[in-house]
Structure 1
Amino acid sequence: MFVEDDESHLIWFSGVETDPLSFKLTGVLCALAIYNNVLVDFPFPLAFYKKILNQSLSLDDLDELSPTEARLYFF
């Protein structure tokens, strides 16, 4: 469902098709944690939250998530 970047240690979607119910259950888990004032570390990059808020992304967002791949675009 999610994969961790070896360099940044942030997580992103794996790209492998996953059952939609798994995403729903993950969302319920996050909501329950917030509701119960439990701090859970979800190491998503800023780009994840920008997508939720429908904000545009930049190469700086890619640099945060995957510095190695971002360097290919900064030449």
Structure 2
Amino acid sequence: MVRGAIGFGALAGSLVLLRAVGPASLLLAPIGLVALRGCPMCWAVGLVETVSAGRLRRSCTEGSCTLRRA
């Protein structure tokens, strides 16, 4: 949780402070990426899986899969 707060805080801060501080605020971005340790696509997939956990069910019949609400 702490690593996530530091990582996302640094990434958000680098964008929010861009107008006030200028390009120097972008130095926070690598700090955020190091704190999160991973690839952005993996974070996005993990977030989608967490949000949809228990809400969607996959059913596959006769070679065709569909998503439906649980």
Alignment TM-score, normalising by the size of structure 1 = 0.29
| Larger helix proportion of the pair | 2
Larger RCO: 1 or 2 (CA < 8 Å, sep 6+): 1
Larger radius of gyration: 2
